[in-house]
């Protein structure tokens, strides 16, 4: 004997629901509705049929309560001035990095990053000569 319970509720024929409530149910629970606008809830969690009936009924009530609860309107909030300023400053810095990317270094700087007149500067000093 099977203890599984399926609860069916005809959303389209229910006189207690307004048109807007029916519409909300259709949009928020499309996977639980058949093509005939019948809402179904299945329960096979428990070992007895009576417990599964209670579970299916409770789940049905929870589903409808969640769907029919009015949603709170979103309050628009302004972006804080400091946050906006920080974001724009980061964008400016990033733009600078990208603008300087790929540019050749000035002519007096070699590939290693040293100035041309600095290359080999310490070779002639007494300190480096006496070391070797």
- Return the structure tokens found at 69: 């609860």
Write out the two tokens for 74. 């979103």
Interval 25-80: pLDDT, tens: 999 999 999 999 899 999 999 999 999 999 999 999 999 999 999 889 999 999 99
Report how far residue 108's alpha carbon sits from residue 111's, in angstroms, rounded to the nearest whole number: 10
Average per-residue pLDDT for the chain: 85
| Per-residue model confidence (pLDDT) at position 120 | 55
> What pLDDT is stored for residue 90 in this prediction?
97
CA-based nearest residue to 53, from 124, 4, 103, 123: 4
Q: Looking at the domain covering 5-68, what would its CATH class be?
A: alpha beta
What percentage of residues in the chain have a pLDDT greater than 70?
Answer: 77
């Amino acid at each position: 004997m099977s203890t599984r319970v399926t609860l069916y509720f005809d959303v389209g024929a229910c006189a207690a629901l307004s048109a807007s409530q029916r519409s909300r149910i259709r949009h928020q629970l499309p996977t639980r509705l058949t093509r005939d606008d019948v809402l179904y809830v299945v329960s096979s969690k428990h070992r007895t049929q009576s417990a599964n009936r209670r579970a299916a009924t409770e789940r049905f009530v929870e589903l409808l309560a969640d769907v029919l609860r009015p949603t709170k309107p979103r309050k628009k909030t302004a972006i804080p001035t400091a946050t906006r300023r920080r974001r724009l400053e980061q964008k400016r810095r990033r733009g600078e990095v990208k603008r300087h990317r790929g540019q050749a270094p000035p002519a007096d700087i070699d590939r290693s990053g040293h100035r041309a007149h600095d290359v080999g500067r310490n070779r002639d000093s007494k300190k480096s000569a006496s070391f070797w």
